[in-house]
Amino acid sequence: MEWKPDYSIEEIAEASAAVKNAPGGMDEDALINELYLGAFAACLEAKLLPGAAQWTAQHQDAILLFRSTGQPFQEVLELAAGRMLRARWLDRYFHGVCPNEPDPRNANLELMGSLEELAMSGVIEVEFAVQVVRETEEAGREDLLARLAETSRGESLQTGSDN
C-alpha cells in the first residue's frame, strides 16, 4: 500500500504563504496563538454565537491561559460558550428590566446570586424572567428570583443541563 500524504503540496504552499503574511509574521508563538484563537472563534460561531471573534479577542488572555495549562480545546470551548451564553442572558435581563440604569449589575447586587444561577441553568428563558420580575413589586423580586433559581436547579438536574 502506497503512503499518501494528508495534505497536498499546494495546500502546504498556501498555508506557508498565509503564515508569511500573518499579523504575527513568522513568530511561531504568536502564530500558534493566532491560529488557536481563530479556531476558537470559528467554533463559537459554529455554535451560532454571534460576536464570537470580538468576544474571543476580549477574553484572549483567559483562553490562552487555559490552553497553557493543558486543558483540551473542547473543554475550554464549552466553558467559554457557557460563559458567553450566561453573559448574554444577564445582558438581556438587565436590558428588559432596567434599560435606563447606568450600572444595572450594581443596582441589582442583592439579586445577582439568583440571576447568575438562572443564567447558568439555561432552563428559564430570559423573557419569562423579565416578564415576571416586571410584574412583581420590587420588595418581592429577591424572593421570586430565589424561587425561580431553586426551580431551575431542580430542572437542570432532571434534564442533565450543564449550561
The Cα angle at residue 59 between residues 15 and 89, in degrees rounded to 5: 120
Is 2 part of any domain? no
Is 160 part of any domain? yes
Residue 77 · residue 43 · CB < 8 Å: yes
The Cα angle at residue 96 between residues 60 and 47, in degrees rounded to 5: 40
Q: Is 51 left (phi over 0), alpha (psi -120 to 50) or beta?
A: left
Is 136 part of any domain? yes
CA–CA gap between residue 114 and residue 89 (Å, rounded):
13
Same-domain check for residues 55 and 86? no
Neighbours of 61 (CB within 10 A): 8
CA–CA gap between residue 142 and residue 113 (Å, rounded):
10
* Nearest alpha-carbon partner for 57 in 87, 34, 83: 34
Number of domains composing the chain:
2
Boundary of a domain, candidates 45, 69, 93:
69
Is 144 part of any domain? yes
Is 116 part of any domain? yes
The residue written with cell numbers 447606568 in the block is: 102
Same-domain check for residues 95 and 152? yes
Neighbours of 150 (CB within 10 A): 12
pTM: 0.68
Same-domain check for residues 109 and 152? yes
Same-domain check for residues 81 and 160? yes
- Tell me the chain's radius of gyration from C-alpha atoms: 22
Boundary of a domain, candidates 69, 86, 106:
69
- The boundaries of the domain holding residue 93 are 72-163
pLDDT one digit per residue (tens) for the chain, 163 residues: 787 888 888 988 888 888 788 776 677 788 888 889 999 999 988 887 888 899 999 999 999 998 899 889 999 999 888 888 898 899 999 999 999 989 988 888 888 999 999 998 878 899 999 999 999 998 999 999 999 988 887 665 444 444 4
pLDDT of residue 22: 76
Is 123 part of any domain? yes
Same-domain check for residues 78 and 57? no
Helix (H, G, I), strand (E, B) or coil at 101: coil
Residue 77 · residue 63 · CB < 8 Å: no
